[in-house]
Amino acid sequence: MVNRVQQPTGRGDARRQAKATGLVRHQRHSRWRQFWAPSLKVVAIALAVALVSGASVAAIAVSQFATKVAANSVDISNGKKPAKAPAATSFDGGFNVLVVGVDNSTAQGESYGERDATLNDVNILLHVSADHKSAAVVSIPRDLVIAQPECTDPATGNVASAVSAEAVNGAYGRGGLGCVVSTVAELTGLDIPYAGLISFSGTVAMADAVGGVPICLNAAIDDPYSGLNLPAGTSVVSGQTALSYLRSRHGVGDGSDLSRISSQQAYMSSLMRVMKSNSTLTDVSKLTGLANAAGTNLKLSTSLANIPTMVSMALALKDIDLAKLVFVQYPAVDDPDDAAKLVPSETLATELFTRLKTDQPFTLDDKSLGSGAQADPAAPAAPDPAATPDPAAPVDPAAPVDPAATPDPTAQETIAGLRGQTADQQTCSIAYDY
């Protein structure tokens, strides 16, 4: 049975004390930051949705949409000459888009805690391959300690010196969106010419625009911190309930921010399946809602905030197979100097970004879901690997050639050790076990 839920229905006060006294890894001191960052993860896909939507909306209300995104555009040059936007007909080659969520927007109101600094607590990189047949969405943990380059604040002209070790979410305060882009580009070795900055209200608006997203829980969750109160099984969530699910940390996995990433990946994967399955991108009312939500709640880089670029990206994105859209967490391990922080897992990160740079598609091993998610037992069974012909088996030269048996040059290889899932995987968030 599928439950359709619009608003939280309870607070679970009896469990508050047990949660308040537990030790949780990577816990932030600000209540705002504890549940703001995860609520924004979905906007990585929302941006892709906005790009695809833009292609159709251009024929519906292009002038209004273009005016909105242009008015909200952001300079990400970090003191350098801005890149030239591509032509409108088609996108030649691959591209990278960074979506950044900050925790200190004046439009977000005072109801989500005190904000003593502007931090980029959400940093998600979308990479689309040059042949437009595969894509990866990489979530970079906010507490990942790395070197950061010199940054120039476009508003004030102030220059922040390079640093050798600072958490990723300190980059925005050093020089705005352009500094975050430069920091992630240096970390990954990828050129990032496009970026988007999002606000709190965008999460709810995007969930509402598609009419809700199915999510699965292996057991009931009653999390008073985020307001999430849902039964076991599948529920279709939108609005504030979707936000509560995305920001719930105390209620899932081992109670850590890294477990929460699993829930966010499950949500984004489900959102993409919704987009594919119910023809959202051909529904005029949903398209218009998505475009309005994106135009109002996303601040795009000046390189991205124009219709020709969005149309070009839409053409590149629209046909990617869900099995070849991979959501992964940036490879990281505990920081030996600070238990609340992380540092890069160098070998695994090198393998991941070498594949992205060279556009080699990859998939994940059977242990990739981690502590925050499990396979949905109600999902259709995966294809039987035993039914796949053995490439090492002897071939009868007189036998007719089956075109379907021809090796796929875009076949994906497994990167063992990565955390995440593909967009076609149906998963359930694991309720925190007290």
What CATH number is associated with residue 128?
3.40.630.190
Closest by CA position to 321, among listed 139, 132, 137: 132
Is pLDDT above 90 for 352? yes
Is pLDDT above 60 for 191? yes
Q: How many domains does the chain have?
A: 1
Q: What was the pLDDT predicted at 2?
A: 67
Band of residue 73 on the pLDDT scale cut at 50, 70, 90: confident
Q: Is 281 exposed, middle or buried (0-12, 13-18, 19+ CB in 10 A)?
A: middle
Q: Is the dihedral of CA 189, 191, 197, 202 positive or negative?
A: negative
CA distance 323 to 426: 11
Q: Is-above-0.75 flag for pTM?
A: yes
Residue 392 lies in a domain: no
The alpha helices in 248-338, defined as continuous H runs, are: 257-277, 284-297, 307-317
Q: What is the pLDDT of residues 382-421, one digit of tens each?
A: 554 444 445 455 555 555 555 445 545 556 789 999 999 9
Residue 385 lies in a domain: no
Contact 423, 325 (CB under 8 A): yes
Least trusted range by pLDDT, from 240-254, 281-295, 310-324: 281-295
DSSP reduced 3-state for 407: coil
Neighbour count for residue 351 (Cβ, 10 Å): 17
Least trusted range by pLDDT, from 45-49, 111-115, 196-200, 418-422: 45-49
Neighbour count for residue 88 (Cβ, 10 Å): 15
Paired strand residues for 128: 95, 135
Residue 402 lies in a domain: no
Residue type, 139: S
User: Residue 154: which domain range?
Assistant: 2-20+29-377+410-429
Is pLDDT above 90 for 78? no
DSSP code per residue over 321-363 = -GGGEEEEEPPEEEETTEEEEEEE-HHHHHHHHHHHHTT--EE
Residue 73 lies in a domain: yes
> Where are any strands of DSSP class E within 365-434?
373-375, 413-415, 420-422, 427-429
Q: What was the pLDDT predicted at 13?
A: 42
Paired strand residues for 343: 333
Of the chain, the percentage scoring pLDDT greater than 70 comes to 67
Q: What is the pLDDT of residues 262-278, one digit of tens each?
A: 888 898 889 888 877 75
Burial 248-272 (b: 16+ CB within 10 A, else e): bbbbbbbbbbbbbbbbbbbbbbbbb
Contact 37, 248 (CB under 8 A): no
Mean pLDDT computed over every residue of the chain: 76
Residue 334 lies in a domain: yes
Is pLDDT above 80 for 326? yes
Residue 398 lies in a domain: no
DSSP percent split of the chain into helix, strand, coil, nearest 5: 40, 20, 40
Q: What was the pLDDT predicted at 340?
A: 87
CA distance 317 to 52: 7
CA distance 351 to 325: 18
Q: What was the pLDDT predicted at 247?
A: 79
Is pLDDT above 70 for 97? yes
Residue 383 lies in a domain: no
Quickly tell me which residue has 């292009």 as its tokens: 62
Quick one: tokens of 152? 């120039």
CA distance 333 to 346: 9
DSSP reduced 3-state for 198: strand
Q: What is the pLDDT of residues 290-303, one digit of tens each?
A: 767 777 777 888 88
Band of residue 74 on the pLDDT scale cut at 50, 70, 90: confident
Residue 75 lies in a domain: yes
Contact 414, 362 (CB under 8 A): yes
- As a whole number of Å, the end-to-end CA separation of the chain is 26
